[in-house]
Amino acid sequence: MGAQARVAMGLALVVLVAGAIGCASGRVSNLDAYDDVPMNRVVPYPSQEELRKRSFELVIIDRPAVGIDDGLLERPRAQVRRALEGLAADAGAAVIDRSLGQLGELRTEGVLGELEGRATEAVTGADYALATRFSKYQYAGEYSKPFKMPWQSDEEVANKPGTCEHTASIELDVQMIEIGSNDKVTKTFSLEHEAEQETKDLDPACTLPPVTLEVLFEKALDEALSCLDLPLGMALAPRGHLNGHRKAPGADRHIYRITLGSAQGIERGETVEIRREQRSMSPSGEETREERVIATGEVTDQVRAQLSWIAVDPSKAEASLLDGDVVRPVFTEGLLSSLSGPDCDEILTER
């Protein structure tokens, strides 16, 4: 996607959110002055466990790389782990343990039990596992002879440095696995990227110092992993519920209570989505849950540790807002990063 297209998309999102929120304001001077409004409930209503579970916990698993020496991947795997831990923290999730051997009893059923090299690894206690696997970690150097002017002799050209094009290429898969009685892969993020550097050299072998080569690979990985900020951040965002409605007396101003607060990273002025969960059953008896956005709201100045009040214009909602509707923060790509960052359309593939 080009820079102009990304700018247009960013502006369109701002307009869309602003239109959905309408004239709802984030300032609530006196919460007690608002009148309670009875609410209908969603059916089925979330269980107590679902209501309590606001943030996700996850473990990170390094899967064996076929054809790549493990010693070569020690530093890049650590880099990937640090990046995913930081991304999870920014999204409001938590990495519950850095060592899989300390998580409790063994799990061998489902998807996790089928991963190579996991026969003795424990992964209980988490909602998700992020399983990472390198499929490419490769360096290539290409030498180009110096340009020879018509008046130059071969001897003169031989003393001029040529150009070395250094390329560090990486390919990495990150599987997001929902842990349960039947573990399942919910999403696979495939990253493919190259970092390049040009140097002048008399040696056609195009040799780079080890430290310089490490920096080049780190750059390739950093740029590729930055493309996970938005999609993985959205997947790991806190998940709360709507459970209260108040209206300002004598004014068409509505605020709604949500079960997300500062403990989940909610801040005043933040935009949240209100989602309606839809459940269906397959012919084999497997339950599927899907969510669709029915409204957006702005977090007011009434933010507590485990709850907040959001301003919403119900007339702009696609359906009546119900007690028990799902609420999640909205993640958007910053305009500056969309213009100056890597081209994630070329780097990231989701399936």
DSSP for 127-172 reads SEEEEEEEEEEEEEEEEEPPPPPTT--HHHHHTS-EEEEEEEEEEE
Give me the phi and psi of 262, to 5 degrees please.
Answer: -65, -30
Q: pLDDT at position 334, please?
A: 57
Instruction: Give the whole-angstrom CA distance, residue 157 versus residue 147.
Output: 8
Q: What tokens appear for 129 in the block?
A: 């596992």
pTM: 0.77
- CATH fold, domain 57-235, is Rossmann fold (3.40.50)
For position 25, what pLDDT does the model report? Answer: 61
What pLDDT is recorded for position 338?
A: 55
**Alpha carbon of residue 32 to chain centroid:** 38
Instruction: For domain 24-54+240-335, give the fold.
Output: Thrombin, subunit H (2.40.10)
Residue ranges for the chain with pLDDT beneath 50: 1-23, 98-110, 116-123, 335-336
Question: Strand 184-201 to strand 348-350: parallel, antiparallel, or no bridges (unpaired)?
Answer: antiparallel
Give 135's contacts (C-beta < 8 A, 6+ positions apart). Answer: 65, 66, 171, 172, 173
| Residue range(s) occupied by CATH 2.40.10.410 in the chain | 24-54+240-335
Residue 342, both tokens: 């890597």
Q: Give the pLDDT confidence score for residue 145 in this predicted structure.
A: 87
CA distance 236 to 223: 20
Residue 126, Cβ density class (10 Å: 0-12 exposed, 13-18 middle, ≥19 buried) = buried
Which residue blocks in 254-330 are alpha helix, DSSP H?
Answer: none
Alpha carbon distance 19, 13 (integer Å): 10
Amino acid 112: pLDDT: 55
Residue 303 three-state SS? strand
Per the CB < 8 A criterion, the answer to whether 319 and 276 are in contact is yes
In the chain, ranges of CATH 3.40.50 domains: 57-235
Select from 25, 30, 26 the least CA-distant residue to 300.
26
What DSSP element (H or E) covers 339?
Answer: helix 335-340
